[in-house]
Amino acid sequence: MPELPEVEVVRRGLAPRTVGRTITALEVLDARSLRRQDGGEDRLRALLVGRSMTAAARRGKFLWWRLAEADGAESGEALLAHLGMSGQLRLVTPGGPDPQRHRRVSLTLDDGARVDFIDQRLFGGLWSSDLVEAADRRLAALGSPDALLPVDAAHIARDLLDPALDLAEVARTLRGRRRAVKSLLLDQGIVSGIGNIYADEALWAARVRYDTPGSALSQRTALALLRAARAVMERALDVGGTSFDALYVNAQGEPGYFARSLAAYGREGEPCRRCGRFIERAISQGRSSHYCPRCQRSTGVTRKDAE
DNA sequence: CGGGCCCTGGAT
DNA sequence: ATCCAGGGCCCG
């Protein structure tokens, strides 16, 4: 399921073939993928056709293109995409493979290539969003030329690959909450880009149990956990992300290879790669958590929690 | 802050 | 036929 590494792989695949190109047509095969578009298909078409893409940026799991008029002036809007859990953005070149299954929206570019939005489960979408300045006025995201970002992504915190992220501050935020640490890692308003897979992997790497209250973490452990999350996502990025099946592929239609390196996610009943104990699975907040019952421990409760 | 919902298709 | 997967958002 596309989390930060997978979305970044897609961004890197799309950027060189889309930035600098002009959109010549919009084809909508399933309007449900435009659910979040004000004014629907007609308005999106009016905003896109004849505009060029000037940058491909990403914050957390949100990906967007900056748009400019024919004369090069910025339009003040971005084309925003979220892959949900089964979305793909695929580059289709004339004569190349042409995926039809679950194709929902296509953009045609002035070199004849197409960008297809494919989405089996329809949790993702494509829509336009006005640009606003990031609250901290720093570079908005990876791939962004300035501090502007789509208003519909402005509530999303910076992610662990963002040079402007203040790691110590995020660690302090985790420690200021009493919710389970996994729920905090998944909260895109605290730190973005982490989903169920990389949350379980980061917790395993840092030896922290999913249900440890944030307030029970030391600053040192909270920092170690965030660094573990960053490290596992960087390793996944290096091998093209995590693919379990055909649901996640890059812009060229190729899978990633990180599934074979997972230590916790999806490994219920298999031996822990550190200590050999069987990985267990627990349901919490409607999601499964995979963890090693021996080497992932609750760091215990703080005095405050014991009261 | 937890739970339901949006969706489809593959597994049971 | 029913269950389950899950990101984000909305509801209470």
Token couple for A20: 């600098």
A3-13: average pLDDT: 95
Query: Which residues 85-114 of chain A have a CB under 7 Å from nucleic chain C?
Result: 85-86
pLDDT at residue A106 greater than cutoff 70: yes
Mean pLDDT rounded to a whole number for chain A: 92
Is nucleic acid strand C under 7 Å from A129's C-beta?
Answer: no
Question: Model confidence at A304, in pLDDT bands (50, 70, 90)?
Answer: very low
pLDDT at residue A301 greater than cutoff 70: no
Shortest CA–C1' contact from A214: which nucleotide?
Answer: B1
What pLDDT is attached to residue A302?
40
* pLDDT tens-digit map of A17-67: 999 999 999 999 999 999 999 999 999 999 999 999 999 999 999 999 999
What pLDDT is attached to residue A299?
60
A269-278: average pLDDT: 93
What pLDDT is attached to residue A251?
94
Is nucleic acid strand B under 7 Å from A288's C-beta?
Answer: no
What pLDDT is attached to residue A97?
83
The percentage of chain A sitting over the pLDDT mark of 70, rounded to a whole number, equals 97
What pLDDT is attached to residue A307?
33
Active-site residue identified among A11, A17, A58, A61 = A61
Is nucleic acid strand C under 7 Å from A61's C-beta?
Answer: yes
C1' of B7 to CA of A238 (Å): 31
What pLDDT is attached to residue A271?
93
Name the residue closest to C7, CA to C1'. A84
Q: How far is CA A185 from CA A43, A253, A295, in A?
A: 36, 29, 20
The pTM for the full model equals 0.95
C1' of C2 to CA of A67 (Å): 46
Is A234 labeled as catalytic in the residue annotation?
A: no
Among A120-124, A147-151, A299-303, whose mean pLDDT is lowest?
A299-303
A258-268: average pLDDT: 92
* pLDDT tens-digit map of A163-214: 999 999 999 999 999 999 999 999 999 999 999 999 999 999 999 999 999 9
Among A19-23, A215-219, A265-269, whose mean pLDDT is lowest?
A265-269
pLDDT at residue A300 greater than cutoff 90: no
Shortest CA–C1' contact from A84: which nucleotide?
Answer: C7
A126-132: average pLDDT: 95
Where b means 16+ CB within 10 Å and e means fewer, A166-196 reads eeeebbebbbebeebbbbbbbbbebbbbbbb
pLDDT at residue A306 greater than cutoff 60: no
